[in-house]
Structure 1
Amino acid sequence: MSGTPSQRQEHRAAPAGAARDDGRTRTTDRRTRVRERRGRASDRRTRVTVLIALAANLLIAAAKAVGGVISGSPALLSEAAHSVADSFNEVFLLAALRRSRRPADARHPFGYGKERFFWSLLAAVGIFVMGGCFSFFQGFEALRQGTHETTRGYLVGLIVLGVALIAEGGSLLRALHQVRKRGGRAALRDPALRTVVAEDGTAVLGVTLAIAGMALHMATGQVAWEASASLAIGVLLVYVAYRLGREARDQLIGQAADPELSGRIRALLRAQPEIDSVAELFTMKLGLDSTLVAARIDLVPGLDSERVEEVADRIKHSLAATFPAADQIFLDVTDSPDGETRQSPAATGERGGA
């Protein structure tokens, strides 16, 4: 073989380094595909839960509306509005599941994961406007004008509410079963599943309040009981809408990763022998299972440009392998006393982090 010994050594080292890079890239791609398959499978289960809730709410809304008109019950009409609002919200959640899994493109280089939060915010607005506001209206109208219900109307209303309680309870049990299968409270990070659980839980409480208000109205003849039940349903819906809306807002405007995850990322960086200190660490949730990580790190002195690039690349691969959700990793590397920053692609980061 021609060339000096040092040249021959470089020829042997280059393919080895390229092979390592190719192996890391294939490993990262494989992990990405596995994560995407798991995400799609989880979305399919959530979609079934949402469809069950949608079917239940459409049937219940129709039954409540008919029963409310026949009985003249403000609490039953409030519950009908509640079920209509939930039905629209389920449509929003189905849109969130479908649109948030679209791949990244030139206009959205970090993907469409935040669409999940946007449609969840619309669902919260729907609960507030269609459910809460209408319930307040029905309650105040009943107090102002009163209602006159017949025994037949009471019976129709109570039967409808009893059937609704069974249906809403079944939908809630289905949602809670999925939460348990996906790891308990951690599963509620999914805004679609969290919204379904909140809606079904609120529906069960709302139907219970409506039954209590109608029964007390029938026993005492005082419409104030039923009007109070309608107002209580309104308060409940407004509170749930506020909580869901606040969580969706935080995620839309750029919520950091969980402190526990951020702490583990910082600990991994500090454990690298080439890192002298971690000056700053920023994280942001880009979707349900996508997180951006940006760190400013100081390397120990004495590393040349090639070594800096190799170290930065290895650290990024290590982060991606240890934390699968961290699929967007950017490093700002300094290795000189005066804080001069090297701007090589491996040092500053590339989309995908590896």
Structure 2
Amino acid sequence: MSEEREANAESVGTVIVAGGANLAIAAAKLVAGVISGSAAMLSEAAHSLADTTTEVLLYTALRRGARPADSTHPFGYGKESYVWAFLAAIFTFVAGAGFSITHGVTTILVHKHSGEYLVSYIVLAVSFAIESVSLARAVRQVRRESRRWETSPARYLRHTADTAVKAVFLEDSAALIGLLLAAAGVGLSELTGDELYDGLASIAIGILLLVVAAVLGRSNISLLVGRAVPARLRGGIEQELVDLPAVRRVHTLLTMQLGPDDVLVAAKVDFDDDASGAVIEHTADEAERRLTARYPSVRYVFLDPTGEQRDL
């Protein structure tokens, strides 16, 4: 439980740092975009504003999802965090990507740059430095959590149920790529005098946001529907059950991610034929003790004693 609280507190801290950084950067980019008239800079302002709103939604997700179970929600409120995280993905899709692509197309067709390039370069450089700090914090958390789960950072990001950390990592990574795209667009427009490159950079930033929103949206939908734990974790849980003294075989093992730090385990277990009721009760208690000790995210363990099952 203490590890889970620490992980949640670290996720909250990561979200707050990212949100504060994005808010400051959004304001700076907006000023630079208005002064320069650059479509890429205005798209980056929309990008950072979308990220800031996303962090607010992710903060809400972490706070509301961490509420304890009660009589109306006996398995807790963990899944509510995925609702807010899904809304964050939708906002990124609509506000960030929609504005960037639309403004980029408009720039290519009708817009003329004001020629004030220096302020854009300064804001892009400062923004890159700030975003790097935010991403570094997210990377540290990803590495720490991947070590705790004894897996690689890439695999952790693919399978983690902590969508807040995943969102911050992807958004900060996309932000750095977006800044490079914006710099390329502004630079090529200055060198050639053609606003085509500025508009194309804005469209590219929008497409980048579409990809991030799609990845996060898909992940949250899967968790809302009721995703099982990763195969590696499932295999470890099954092996722990099979290793119990009175257990002959695990016929069916079902798992569900109830929240970032809450996993439900339900299994149909074939016990020894001579196992008494007291032995079965003791084995069930031992199963819960072993699983929660090895996997802190396992919160509920239900065993259903069943007889030998033959294939039809």
TM-score of the superposition, structure 2-length normalised? 0.89
Deviation at 1:102, TM superposition (A): 0.9
* Distance change >3 Å, CA 165–CA 123, structure 1 → 2: same
Query: Could you tell me how far apart the structure 2 residues matched to 1:128 and 1:142 are?
Result: 20
Query: Could you tell me how far apart the structure 1 residues matched to 2:268 and 2:193 are?
Result: 70
The answer to whether the aligner puts 1:44 opposite 2:9 as a matched pair is yes
Query: Could you tell me how far apart the structure 1 residues matched to 2:308 and 2:46 are?
Result: 65
Give the aligned partner of residue 99 of structure 2: 134
Deviation at 1:67, TM superposition (A): 1.3
Query: Could you tell me how far apart the structure 2 residues matched to 1:39 and 1:312 are?
Result: 24
The answer to whether the aligner puts 1:216 opposite 2:197 as a matched pair is no
Alignment partner for residue 123 of structure 2, among 136, 160, 165?
160
Secondary structure in 2 matching 1:131: helix
- Assess if the C-alpha contact under 8 Å between 2:246 and 2:279 holds in 1: no
What are the within-5 Å matches in structure 2 for residues 177-196 of structure 1? 177-182=140-145, 183=147, 185=153, 188=157, 189=160, 190-196=162-168
Alignment partner for residue 60 of structure 2, among 84, 95, 102?
95
CA RMSD of aligned residues (A): 2.0
Give the aligned partner of residue 217 of structure 2: 245
The answer to whether the aligner puts 1:235 opposite 2:207 as a matched pair is yes
Letter in structure 1 aligned against 2:224: L
Deviation larger for 170-179 or 55-64: 170-179
Structure label with greater radius of gyration: 1
Q: Deviations over 1:291-332 (max 9, x none)?
A: 111111122323444444344344343433443322211111
Letter in structure 2 aligned against 1:81: A
- Assess if the C-alpha contact under 8 Å between 1:300 and 1:335 holds in 2: no
Secondary structure in 1 matching 2:263: strand
Secondary structure in 1 matching 2:298: coil
Deviation at 1:337, TM superposition (A): 8.5
Letter in structure 2 aligned against 1:161: L
Q: Deviations over 1:122-161 (max 9, x none)?
A: 11111111110100111110122131322xx122222222
Letter in structure 2 aligned against 1:63: A
Give the aligned partner of residue 345 of structure 1: none
Deviation at 1:168, TM superposition (A): 1.4
The answer to whether the aligner puts 1:263 opposite 2:235 as a matched pair is yes
Letter in structure 1 aligned against 2:3: R
Q: Deviations over 1:42-99 (max 9, x none)?
A: 2222222222222221111111111111111111110010011011011011112211
The answer to whether the aligner puts 1:296 opposite 2:268 as a matched pair is yes
The answer to whether the aligner puts 1:107 opposite 2:72 as a matched pair is yes
Query: Could you tell me how far apart the structure 1 residues matched to 2:140 and 2:291 are?
Result: 33
Question: What 5-or-longer segments of structure 1 have no aligned partner?
Answer: 1-34, 339-354
Identity score, percent:
44
What are the within-5 Å matches in structure 2 for residues 297-336 of structure 1? 297-335=269-307
Secondary structure in 2 matching 1:157: helix
TM-score of the superposition, structure 1-length normalised? 0.79
Deviation at 1:198, TM superposition (A): 1.0
Query: Could you tell me how far apart the structure 1 residues matched to 2:272 and 2:215 are?
Result: 46
- Assess if the C-alpha contact under 8 Å between 1:301 and 1:336 holds in 2: no
Secondary structure in 2 matching 1:283: strand
Deviation larger for 303-312 or 76-85: 303-312
